[in-house]
Amino acid sequence: MMVLTIRKERRELCNLVRYSAWHQVAFGNKVVSGTSRKLKGMSTFPPPEDPSYNHRFAYVNGVRLHYIDVGPRDALPIVLVHGFPDLWWGWRFQIQALRQSYRVIVADNRGYGSSDVPTAIEAYSRKNVCKDYAELLDLLGINRAVFIGHDWGGDVVWKMCSFYPDQVLAVATVCTPYTPRSPQLYSLELIVSKLPNFRYQLLFANESAAGHLDEHAHSFFNALFGNLPNGFEHADVATIVENVTKFKFDRPLPSIMTQADFDYYLAKYRGTTFRGPLNWYRTRDIDWTDLAGKSVVIPHEALFIAADQDVALPPAMSKGMEKFVPNLTRKLVKGADHWVLFEKPDLVNATLLEWLAPIAAKAQQFLRSAL
**pTM above threshold 0.85:** yes
216 is catalytic: no
Comparing CA positions, the residue from 133, 130, 135, 150 lying closest to residue 85 is 150
Active-site hit among 86, 108, 151, 261: 151
**Residue 230 burial by Cβ neighbours in a 10 Å radius (0-12, 13-18, 19+):** exposed
Residue 64, pLDDT score:
99
Residue 37, pLDDT score:
32
Q: In what order do the strands lie in the sheet containing 328-333?
A: 55-60, 63-70, 103-107, 77-81, 145-150, 168-174, 301-307, 328-333
Residue 304, pLDDT score:
99
Active-site hit among 23, 82, 150, 338: 338
Residue 367, pLDDT score:
54
Residue 11, pLDDT score:
39
Residue 210, pLDDT score:
98
Residue 360, pLDDT score:
76
Residue 294, pLDDT score:
98
Rounded to whole angstroms, the Cα distance separating 40 from 92 reads: 10
Q: What is the pLDDT of residues 297-318, one digit of tens each?
A: 999 999 999 999 999 999 999 9
Specify the CATH architecture of the domain 10-26+48-370.
3-Layer(aba) Sandwich (3.40)
281 is catalytic: yes
Active-site hit among 124, 200, 264, 281: 281
Domain ranges of the chain: 10-26+48-370
3-state secondary structure at position 79: strand
* Chain centre distance of CA 208: 26
Q: What is the pLDDT along the chain (371 residues), one digit of tens a residue?
A: 333 333 333 333 333 333 333 333 232 222 222 333 344 433 478 999 999 999 999 999 999 999 999 999 988 999 999 999 999 999 999 999 999 999 999 999 999 999 999 999 999 999 999 999 999 999 999 999 999 999 999 999 999 999 999 999 999 999 999 999 999 999 999 999 999 999 999 999 999 999 999 999 999 999 999 999 989 988 999 999 999 999 999 899 999 999 999 999 999 999 999 999 999 999 999 999 999 999 999 999 999 999 999 999 999 999 999 999 999 999 999 999 999 999 999 999 999 999 998 897 776 666 556 54
Helix (H) or strand (E) holding 288: helix 284-290
Rounded to whole angstroms, the Cα distance separating 266 from 90 reads: 13
Query: What single string gives the DSSP state of each residue in 221-258?
Result: HHHHTT-PPTT-TT--HHHHHHHTTT---SSSS-TT--
**Residue 354 burial by Cβ neighbours in a 10 Å radius (0-12, 13-18, 19+):** middle
Q: Which residues contact 220 (CB under 8 A, 6 or more apart)?
A: 85, 213, 240, 241, 244
Beta bridge partners of 150: 174
Rounded to whole angstroms, the Cα distance separating 26 from 100 reads: 8
151 is catalytic: yes
**Residue 231 burial by Cβ neighbours in a 10 Å radius (0-12, 13-18, 19+):** exposed
Q: What is the pLDDT of residues 75-132, one digit of tens each?
A: 899 999 999 999 999 999 999 999 999 999 999 999 999 999 999 999 999 999 999 9
